[in-house]
């Protein structure tokens, strides 16, 4: 697998959906799949992921619950929620609690999902660049303060 591929974690409790997603996107992206939120959290412990796509309706842990847990420990990956139901409360919860990047209805449209993944990854890179620039700015500021203190003391 190429190191420059976008890494996507797709979470769904239906095996057919996992196979379908992987078959559709495995050539273009590095695709990781999980059949539950718990399994997905274990994958996140082991691998760096750029984009997370999760189904909302899953037993034991909903997509929103999963994304809330992700946000606590892994705030960097962009989060996309899929649901086959017109459940507006789930979407609102996902935006407010899971800080999702985008919401899509199931069944997903390949072209729309592909474009959403690309936009999410662009946003991921934008955030990473901003974080890097802020860290450099803090370092420069610390150096300037040190030099100023040295000058005042001499």
25-29, 73-77, 104-108: least confidently modelled range = 104-108
The answer to whether residue 39 scores a pLDDT higher than 60 is yes
Tokens 């100023």 belong to residue: 148
Say if residues 7 and 29 touch (Cβ distance below 8 Å).
yes
Tokens 């999410």 belong to residue: 120
Say if residues 35 and 9 touch (Cβ distance below 8 Å).
no
In the structure encoding, which two tokens stand for residue 55, read together?
């189904």
What is the average pLDDT value for the chain, to the nearest integer? 89
Kindly give the pairing relationship between strand 51-55 and strand 30-34.
unpaired
Q: What is residue 15's predicted lDDT score, i.e. its pLDDT?
A: 95
Q: What is residue 17's predicted lDDT score, i.e. its pLDDT?
A: 94
Classify the C-alpha dihedral 54-63-47-17 as positive or negative.
Answer: negative
Burial of 12-35, coded b for 16+ CB within 10 Å and e otherwise, reads: bbeeebbebbeeebeeebbbbbbe
Q: What is residue 2's predicted lDDT score, i.e. its pLDDT?
A: 45
What is the average pLDDT across 48-56? Answer: 95
Structural domains of the chain in order of their starting residue, each with its CATH number: 7-153 (3.40.50.2300)
The answer to whether residue 52 scores a pLDDT higher than 90 is yes
53-57, 87-91, 102-106, 116-120: least confidently modelled range = 87-91
Q: What is residue 65's predicted lDDT score, i.e. its pLDDT?
A: 92
Tokens 């929620």 belong to residue: 81
Tokens 């919860």 belong to residue: 93
Q: What is the pLDDT of residues 78-96, one digit of tens each?
A: 999 988 766 666 666 666 6
In terms of pLDDT, which residue wins out, 91 or 12?
12
Q: What is residue 142's predicted lDDT score, i.e. its pLDDT?
A: 86
DSSP track, 109-130: PHHHHHHHHHHHHHHHHHHHHH
Provide Rg for the chain, Cα atoms. Answer: 19
Q: What is the pLDDT of residues 17-38, one digit of tens each?
A: 999 999 999 999 999 999 999 9
């Amino acid at each position: 697998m190429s190191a420059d591929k976008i890494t996507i974690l797709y979470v769904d409790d239906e095996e057919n959906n996992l196979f379908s997603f992987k078959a559709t996107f495995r050539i273009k992206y590095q695709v990781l799949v999980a059949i539950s939120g718990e399994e997905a959290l274990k994958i996140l412990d082991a691998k760096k992921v750029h984009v997370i796509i999760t189904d909302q309706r899953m037993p034991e842990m909903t997509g929103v619950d999963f994304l809330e847990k992700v946000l606590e420990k892994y705030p960097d990956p962009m989060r996309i929620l899929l649901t086959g139901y017109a459940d507006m409360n789930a979407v609102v919860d996902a935006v407010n609690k899971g800080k999702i990047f985008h919401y899509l209805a199931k069944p997903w449209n390949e072209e729309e999902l592909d474009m959403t993944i690309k936009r999410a990854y662009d946003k991921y890179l934008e955030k990473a660049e901003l974080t890097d620039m802020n860290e450099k700015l803090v370092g420069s500021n610390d150096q300037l303060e040190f030099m100023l203190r040295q000058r005042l003391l001499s």
